[in-house]
Amino acid sequence: MGELKIRKAKGSKNIHTGVCHILATFNNTKVTFTDQSGNVISWSSSGKCNFRGSRKSTAYAAQVVCQDAGKVAMSHGLKEVAVKVKGPGMGRDSAVRALQSLGLHVTTIIDVTPVPHNGCRPPKRRRV
């Protein structure tokens, strides 16, 4: 594959370091790029990338979503990111790999999945 050509975006924010928030649930994958103070640079989700139904939760969908949001973020000058991964979905690992293949320098990978201290009662077990 050839080198990706990324142009400067109009109204470029000119940010070099940022945070990539990856939310991988059982049904969807969402990726948001922010600067250090939390202002959104770019975002994408499986539905935005034309995945529907059960295809939204796949690892391939997470890879495409990460590339989609990453290209826009890189056009704003983003070069290195700290990755925060949340949720139990299939797209966790493939999303981080997609970031590295784009050419972004990943500084840290943090798992910020909330863990309950025996909070809400879980839904009843499925009988299949």
pLDDT, tens only, 52-104? 999 999 999 999 999 999 999 999 999 999 999 999 989 899 999 999 999 99
Domain extent at residue 68:
17-111
Q: What is the pLDDT of residue 112?
A: 95
Predicted TM-score of the model (pTM): 0.84
In the three-class reduction of DSSP (H, G, I as helix; E, B as strand; rest coil), residue 48 is classed as: coil
* CATH, residue 47: 3.30.420.80
Structural domain includes residue 120: no
Q: What is the pLDDT of residue 12?
A: 65
Structural domain includes residue 2: no
In the three-class reduction of DSSP (H, G, I as helix; E, B as strand; rest coil), residue 99 is classed as: helix
Question: Chain centroid to CA 59: how far?
Answer: 12
Structural domain includes residue 127: no
In the three-class reduction of DSSP (H, G, I as helix; E, B as strand; rest coil), residue 21 is classed as: strand
User: What's the structural domain count of the chain?
Assistant: 1
Structural domain includes residue 124: no
Q: What is the pLDDT of residue 15?
A: 85
Sign, Cα dihedral of 76, 79, 80, 83: positive
Give the span between the Cα atoms of 69 and 66, in whole angstroms. Answer: 5
Structural domain includes residue 32: yes
